[in-house]
Every structure is written in structure tokens, then in C-alpha cells.
Amino acid sequence: MSRGWLSLPALALLAGCSSVTYSNERLEAIQRELNRRYDLWKGQAISAYDYQFARECLCPSDLTRPVLVSVADSVVRAVIYVDSGTAVPASAFSSYFTVEGLFRQAQIGINVLADSLVVEYDPQLHYPTRIVV
């Protein structure tokens, strides 16, 4: 499949999709939707894509700068700062995610029984476009 382009607006992430038992109806609904969207994403078998990513957190400024993340074969292959076009060092790639990693970040919010969790999805491709914990 040809390389696709995904646009992810600003994401606020708490830094897995697994089965967990909940007593919270809100989190149960978020879990069902996360599972449904993950299955739809995986069903497309998109193996190479680029997406723009921005993190909102009380983090070092390099982690909050918008970046372009390039993924191939489920591995982050390159990360470029959007504002300067310079490459993020490979040693920092673990701070960035594949789309599967974004699903895992949402799952973590569910697993820790977050008091507040919002997950929004792309209507066509079904990947998370916004995660707020």
C-alpha cells in the first residue's frame, strides 16, 4: 500500500488494547469504541504512513513541538520538527508513537480508570486524532 498521510491535531497523552473489567459505564463505552475503531484501523492494513503529532503537557519544550512522524512496518522510522524541518534524534523516537501506539495510550487511560478521558477518531480511517487524559 502506498504511504498515506494522517493528520492528528494536538494530542494530550498519558504516557496497550487489552481486556479489562470496569465498573464505570463511561469507561466501558470508551473501551467498546476503542476496540471497534482499532479493529476498523487494523482491517485497512495500512503499513506505511506519515502523521503530524503535537503533545500538550508540562514537558520539556522539545516534546511539545509539532512533529511529522513517519511510520513503516509498525516502526517509527523518522520524526521531523514541523517548525524547523530538522530531524528529531533517533534516540528520542521512543517519545513518539505509531497509530497502534496511540491506541495503546488511550488504553492506558482506560486501564488507570482516568477521571477524565476523551478519545476522538478520524471518521474515515478510524485512528485516534485526539486523546485527552
Distant-in-sequence, close-in-space partners of 92: CB < 8 Å, separation ≥ 6: 62, 79
Tens digits of per-residue pLDDT, 91-100? Answer: 999 999 999 9
| C-alpha angle 111-131-16 in degrees, rounded to nearest 5 | 35
Grid cell in block for residue 23: 465498573
Half-sphere exposure of 69 (CA within 13 A, CB side): 26
Query: The whole model's pTM is what?
Result: 0.81
pLDDT at 5: 53
Tens digits of per-residue pLDDT, 23-45? Answer: 689 999 999 999 999 999 999 99
* Domain spans, the chain: 4-132
